[in-house]
Amino acid sequence: MTRFFLVICTVLLLANCNQVKPSPESFTGPVANINDTNRKISAIKMNFYEVTEIDGRNIYSSSACTSEGGQHEQVGLSVCSLRHPTPAGKQVLHIRAVNYATVPFFTLFNNIYKVEGDVVVTLEAGKEYFVKGEISKGYTAVWVEDSKGSLVSRKIEK
């Protein structure tokens, strides 16, 4: 039984490390900025609304950044909220809403509400955009807004 428990814990810890920080890509030409957002739930829990791919290219997400920072601090969160320079024009973004706990072990006892998918957006050069969302027991959604709060993508809902 102990061996089984250790195997399960190892698999869960390795699954938490599935994002690799890619080297930053430079985009030529005009860019817009897409900002990940988050909402603090408790001292050890956050909800993240983030972009994880731009036109099929993996990018470093705020939850991965927070995970790396949080591993060194046993109390509280060291939260990242990333800003992603993105080429202006039509882009396919992979966005998600996900719960995050500083210690992966806590996720065994909590529901992980998650929704993710691709949205097509047309980004204007020099403008700011924000990944927004909502996570609750009965409803989870994620979408992209402009700096005025207007919806610029469809909502991905569950």
Strand spans (E) along the chain = 31-35, 37-40, 45-54, 57-58, 83-87, 89-101, 114-123, 128-135, 140-146, 156-157
Residue predicted with more confidence, 82 or 27: 82
| pLDDT, tens only, 3-56 | 544 445 444 444 444 444 433 455 678 999 999 998 888 777 888 899 999 999
Q: How many domains does the chain have?
A: 1
Give the tokens for residue 102: 């500083």
Helix (H) or strand (E) holding 8, with range, is helix 2-16
**Residues 6 or more apart whose Cβ sits within 8 Å of residue 149:** none
pTM for this one?
0.74
What CA–CA distance (Å, rounded) separates 136 from 143? 15
| pLDDT, tens only, 87-119 | 999 999 999 998 877 666 665 655 566 899 999
Q: Residue 61's pLDDT is what?
A: 79
Q: Residue 1's pLDDT is what?
A: 58
Domain that holds residue 50: 2-21+30-157
